[in-house]
Structure 1
């Protein structure tokens, strides 16, 4: 079992007072974290009053995180990702809680509606928006990017779920954003490339330190992403990818191309593409440069 199982949940997610819900799906809550409120969220609505009274910084980049099915906003995904984002840069983090909403399509549409509201009413630069989805949340992030009127530049899909999504018309595809950056870490996730930029650490189906535990390898996706953010500000090793000639070469870790792309991190990626692999340590720090 991986190191993440020893970690406690760090976030205290406040409960929204929904006196006037104006998103398009019931029971979807938008939790805002900033450096002013890094541990306790402020739930916000797609309304001028709600956003103006929140600590959201209109001049800063915004990261939207979407948890996996069966999780919630205060689960380990956000417990790792939210602090890592706020450590890496002064950013707005909007953590979506869809744990009480049964329709990924409606959740994606609600996120799209919220993002368009920011762009339309606050002249927010859509290039400053990053979507980060884990498992089913990766598909939801793709739905949001597809349905948003604003062009989403960068979407990071962390081990997007395979079961129930292979033939789903709402499944993640490479054209929903300018750059869809996908990390494949377990047999629970989609194996074939679904992004413009696909990474297969340790071959992509299981991770060092997890043995045969697919759930462990699945969860390592957000551990790698979180470390990719903090490593940049701590001058630590990065997840440097080696380019592969094919998907098959990536899954067999038989790649010898250029080492010219780093997984994750703070950079907004637009023109990067290809299939890459990298190897990791079995416990933190995972990156080996």
Structure 2
């Protein structure tokens, strides 16, 4: 690099910054030609810290602390990508590194194993996962020699990177502090024994997010806690047909990454509900977070570590929640308790709207028909795409979904709306409503006189 102190030639003194001479490292950028020809594994480690948050430094595998920015006294987070069929760099790794550094003073190391992951032959990339894990294990042991405890390492693995994280954890006898698996890869790992994939024994705490379990991801639980947003399969906002091109294949799979990034900057809190299935969650059967323990229901993402002790004691825990199709993804949840007084049982669907000034938000409870019986309280889950406060009006409509049958009426003795994410908010009630099918009824809610009624 040409020095800025050219005036030294004229006898003028100047200062020379040796660090400025070092070029920034970049992620390996390949193309489809490399993928078709096949690539041989080469692992590069790109270091980001708050001192060089926009300029990565290459780390030496055998002498990591030759790079002065690497600090043995800081916690270290690795970002490990997955299969790269076209050879291009992941579009999210630099943003993820930036968000991590904004949140905490860390060593963030992006693991670039693109030469090894870029191969039209997926099975060749799978074969390279163990080699990449062995390479990184050696590096971590070098850091351990300089005093960094294994508990200070956090591995964030995406797709194949999740299983690489697991293999590293196995190599180190489960002493790694944390592994976060973002939609761990399913093909070639489904049905394999624990020593051939990620499992809860690979780290002191393992959390996994499943967003494409019916295609590229892994279906069954792999961690101490497993999150299944929107049931773990199709994600809202992602293309439904192949006409969308590459987005059809990668949108669901990558949603796990964006959900995790959303959790780092704390834009909103994605609360997950321990449950047997997504259908049970939608049915409102899993909303009592007090049963989970004093910490309440766990959050997805970066802060999941707060629930480590209770989750490790509890064993493998499956959790479910729903999201919007855009960032920050959070929905606003209410438990809806309805008592009806029709003599005959009614089956149907509800649509609720919350109104605040000139804004409104809607929740459709239509995943299946609800049963309304005489003087029997029915609890439902209403999920709104945003939070409106204060709630000035509520509208509700009832439908049986039957086109050819006569229109029915639903006689409501009491409806109660309980906000689930803020216990300090008022529970809203209304008494004595008559809902005619497909006709919207608007009312002003009042504070409930007796929430046990």
C-alpha RMSD of the superposition: 2.6
Give CA deviations for 1:227-248 in whole Å, capped at 9, x if unaligned.
11111xxxx3211111113587
Mapping for residues 32-111 of structure 1, pairs under 5 Å: 32-48=47-63, 50-70=64-84, 74-101=89-116, 102=125, 103-111=128-136
3-state SS of the aligned residue for 1:63? strand
Task: Give the gaps of 5 or more residues in structure 2.
Answer: 1-23, 29-39, 117-124, 241-247, 290-295, 312-316, 332-420, 422-453
Bigger drift between 71-80 and 171-180 goes to: 71-80
Give CA deviations for 1:15-74 in whole Å, capped at 9, x if unaligned.
79xxxxxxxx951111111111112211102334x4143301222111011101117794
Shift of 1:149: 5.2
Are residues 247 and 196 of structure 1, via their aligned partners in 2, closer, same or farther at CA, if it must alter by over 3 Å? farther
- Map of 1:239 onto structure 2: 270
- Map of 1:228 onto structure 2: 263
TM-score for the superposition, normalised by structure 1 = 0.82
- Map of 2:321 onto structure 1: 278
C-alpha distance in structure 2 between counterparts of 1:73 and 1:40, whole Å: 19
- Map of 1:185 onto structure 2: 211
3-state SS of the aligned residue for 1:64? strand
More strand by share: 2
Task: Give the gaps of 5 or more residues in structure 1.
Answer: 1-11, 17-24
CA contact (8 A) 1:253 1:277 kept: no
Shift of 1:254: 6.1
Runs of 4+ in 1 over 2 A off after TM superposition: 12-16, 71-74, 167-170, 211-214, 245-257, 266-273
C-alpha distance in structure 1 between counterparts of 2:284 and 2:211, whole Å: 13
Shift of 1:80: 3.0
Greater relative contact order structure (CA < 8 Å, 6+ sep): 1
User: Higher Cα Rg: structure 1 or 2?
Assistant: 2
Bigger drift between 82-91 and 166-175 goes to: 166-175
Q: How many residues align?
A: 264
Are residues 254 and 202 of structure 1, via their aligned partners in 2, closer, same or farther at CA, if it must alter by over 3 Å? farther
3-state SS of the aligned residue for 1:237? coil
- Map of 2:360 onto structure 1: none
